Structure 1
Amino acid sequence: MTVALMWEARAAEGRGDALLAWAKSRTLDGTPVRRETFRAPQDRVLVITWWDAAYDAELPELPEPTGDLVTRPVHRWRFESVERV
C-alpha cells in the first residue's frame, strides 16, 4: 500500500523563502519512495512524502518550524492511494 503524508504551513509575513528553505533542508528518519516540495501564494509551503506502508504505520513527519517562521500551526493529512494512472 502507498501512503502519502502531506505537511502544509503558511509563513509569517516576508518569511516565505526562509520557510521554503527550512522545509527543503529537513531530513526524515527514513527514506520515502518520493518527496516533493511545493510553494503557493500567501507564502504557503507544502511537502508531500509517499511511503510503502500500511495506512496506520508510524512514519516520520516534518516537525513544526521553530520560532517566528509560521503564522499558525502546521496542517497535516494522511492519504491512502486508491488509483494511479
Structure 2
Amino acid sequence: MTVALMWEARAVAGRGADLLAWARAQHLAGTPLRRETFRAPQDRVLVITWWDAAYDADLPELPEPDGTLVGRPVHRWRFEAVD
C-alpha cells in the first residue's frame, strides 16, 4: 500500500522563503518513495511524502517549525492510494 503524508504550513508574513528553506533542509528518519515540496501565495509551504507502508504505520514526519517562523500550527493529513 502507498501512503502519502501531507505537511502544510503558513509562514509569518514575509518569511515564506525562510519557511521554504527550512522545510527543504529537514531530514526524515527514513527514506520515502518520493518527496515533493511546493509553495503557494500567502507564504504557504506544502511537503508531500509517499511511503510503502500500511495506512496506520508509524512514519517519520516533518516537525513543527519554530513559532517565530509560522503564523499558525502546521496542518497534517494522511492519505492512502486507491486504484
Q: Give the TM-score taking structure 1 as reference length.
A: 0.96
| Distance in 1 (alpha carbons) for counterparts of 2:44 and 2:14 | 11
Give yes or no for the alignment of 1:2 onto 2:9. no
Alpha-carbon shift at residue 67 of structure 1 (Å): 3.3
| Distance in 1 (alpha carbons) for counterparts of 2:14 and 2:31 | 31
> Aligned residue for 1:28?
28
| Distance in 1 (alpha carbons) for counterparts of 2:53 and 2:71 | 32
> Aligned residue for 2:46?
46
What's the % identity of the aligned pairs?
81
> Aligned residue for 2:69?
69
Q: Give the TM-score taking structure 2 as reference length.
A: 0.98
Q: CA RMSD in A?
A: 0.5
> Aligned residue for 1:16?
16
| Distance in 2 (alpha carbons) for counterparts of 1:14 and 1:37 | 19
| Distance in 2 (alpha carbons) for counterparts of 1:54 and 1:66 | 30
Q: Name the SS of the counterpart of 1:14 in structure 2.
A: coil
> After superposition, what is the alpha-carbon deviation per residue over 1:14-59, rounded to whole angstroms, capped at 9, x for unaligned?
1000000000000000000000000000000000000000000000
Unaligned runs of 5+ in 1: none
Unaligned runs of 5+ in 2: none
Alpha-carbon shift at residue 4 of structure 1 (Å): 0.0
Q: Name the SS of the counterpart of 2:29 in structure 1.
A: coil
